[in-house]
Structure 1
Amino acid sequence: MRIALFATCLADTMFPQAAQATVTILERLGHQVCFPEGQVCCGQMHANTGYFKQAAKITRNHVETFSPVLDGEWDAIVIPSGSCTGAARHEQGLVAEHVGDTALAKRVEQIASHTYDLTELLIDVLGTEDVGAYFPHTVTYHPTCHSLRIAKVADRPYRLLKAVEALTLIDLPDAEVCCGFGGTFSMKNSETSTAMLA
């Protein structure tokens, strides 16, 4: 498959190894990965804080950057972030509708139909749960609110983790309880966020 990577601004600035690992996995599985250079942010932070006009500009950029998927240049778009997957598939359309741009909303919907969280792409599209990983450590997994409730990746991350050679996966009690971070929520409501984390 030919897959376009939407690395996300968070990965680009803070966790570039996540985007790099995505490319490594997909190429090791025999797929071609490209990085559209026009990509920036998904606009989620702007939309979540009520800056719909600014979010619409970001959404237009996303649509322009990833439109080649509609012409068959790529087979899919992959995002290694549940939050940004949710934004690209749901929030961008709401932003377009909020600013009254129905043509943009339609394009967002078309592109969203080719957009996958990394775990979905691996399991649902590529049909693999074992990516050849080895990690001889004990870990737990805390699913993010957006990956569960917006991107709806369900148990896919667990299924991938269970296939990792030598990994011991421990269930996290109350795993579906929010950590309190919530992006801009943690900045605007830091006391509440900290209490939720505790």
Structure 2
Amino acid sequence: MGTTPSGRMAIVKGDITEQRVDAIVNAANGSLLGGGGVDGAIHRKGGRAILDECRKLRASHYGGGLPAGRAVATTAGLLPARWVIHTVGPVYSTTEDRSALLASCFTESLRVAHGLGAESVAFPAISTGVYRWPMADAARIAAEALRTAPSRVPEIRLVLFDDAAPATFRSAFGPV
């Protein structure tokens, strides 16, 4: 595990739902009601408590859903974490630069984690699944966002599911 201005940094291949951290970041869809990929895995393994809190958020502050680039926390339910921080990544576009929205997913999630008092947070590769963001570009944006984020958390872990992603993220982050 290396260090960054935010603290300790690790890039690992693994299952984000098994990370023993204070906060797990969910690459959610705007509905906050579960879906596929990371979102579906978190909702399935975390259990009903996550969905119940997401429904309350939809009934109060986020009636139209959570906008891309924003982040909000719920319980982690049955996951080995205290909180899940839901963030909605942008869908990749070849005709519109949405990189600021992707960067905001990381910085807003860190802001929420910091506000909760989290000492450790695990991130997935946001927007690289069904939202089709190219892995190398997503890694570059994540590295810049996490390095320059005004909010700090002592330990940041990037937990990547497929075989090629850790090397791609290590290349973007440099020595960590």
The bucket for the TM-score relative to the shorter chain is 0.3 to 0.5
Normalising by structure 1, we get a TM-score of 0.36
Larger-Rg structure:
1
Greater share of residues in helix: 1
Greater share of residues in strand: 2
Query: Greater relative contact order (Cα 8 A, min sep 6): structure 1 or 2?
Result: 2
